[in-house]
Structure 1
Amino acid sequence: MLVMGREVGEVITIGDNIRIKVMAVEGGVVRFGISAPRQVAVHRAEIHKRIKDQALEQEPASGHSA
């Protein structure tokens, strides 16, 4: 894991087309702005987990009876 410090207004770039900008720091909360291509899903970790869990629940059972 890369750990770095950034100040408000500074940007982190991932690859050629993903940018994360520090928008504000208030108390213990940091607000980011994220720019990414539409085909790149960007979610908070808890939302990403919920999406993955729902997808697993919707998968058909893999056991086939013969």
Structure 2
Amino acid sequence: EKIPLREIMTTPLTSVPSDTPMEKVANLMAKKGIRRLLVIDEGKLSGIITSRDILKFFSDYVSDMVEIASKFGIR
């Protein structure tokens, strides 16, 4: 409880604006080996995106593509 954050945080901080495409976010996180990414808009923290968020997004995306393909008889 008495350890300053500067002693355990990763620097420099990596952030993206909220309009960054998900593919770019996933590539950035993979390239830098980070699991959490700050979302900054107009100099203020808008949120944090996590590797779990990325997995959920792409899982939902693949499920949607499978459903669309099945409507056309594609497996």
Q: TM-score under structure 2 normalisation?
A: 0.36
Q: Which has the higher helix share?
A: 2
Greater RCO (CA < 8 Å, at least 6 residues apart):
2
Normalised TM-score (structure 1): 0.39
